[in-house]
Amino acid sequence: MAHLYTATVRWTAEGDFASGQYSRGHDWMFDGGVTVPGSSSPAVVPPPLSREDAVDPEEALVAALASCHMLWFLNLAQRAGFVVEAYEDHAHASMARLEAKRWWVDKVTLRPRATFAAGAAPDPARLAALHEEAHRLCYIANSVRSEVTVEPVTD
């Protein structure tokens, strides 16, 4: 199953590039016509050189992992006969130093909460198994070297 996934990242100089006082704001364009504002993290490059109202690459990685996990979880739950009515994940990531001037996203924690229709929810063991299988199948989780953990949230 070889697929080609594409995104266009477009940046145009604003500010004084030579002095390092240039905008890190840019756009991510996807094949469906969606454009998402991107930027470096304001924690790395302070505003106004970064955009607080844009998605930084680290946030995008967390969102991609959470979204991939969710899509697999929904597929597996539906095929197993469970009725999911809502799903929310408050995912987060941490960074660690590899060596001087090199950092990496060393851990991503997914905290998914699935809400099931009355009488259509799996027991805790089956819920955990669905999340484990979703994590195992997630293309993005299989593509990163960071530790990715899943901590389902239940009521």
Domains parsed from the chain with CATH numbers? 1-54 (no CATH), 57-150 (3.30.300.20)
Average pLDDT taken over every residue of the chain? 94
Over residues 15-30, the pLDDT tens digits come to: 999 999 999 999 999 9
Lowest-pLDDT range of 40-44, 107-111, 146-150: 146-150
Residue 155: predicted pLDDT: 73
The model's pTM: 0.90
Cα(40)–Cα(20) distance, integer angstroms: 13
CB 110 within 8 A of CB 148: yes
Cα(100)–Cα(84) distance, integer angstroms: 46
Residue 1: predicted pLDDT: 59
Query: What is the band of 2 on the pLDDT scale with cuts at 50, 70, 90?
Result: low
CB 127 within 8 A of CB 150: no
Does the pLDDT at position 34 exceed 70? yes
Residue 106: predicted pLDDT: 92
Does the pLDDT at position 74 exceed 80? yes
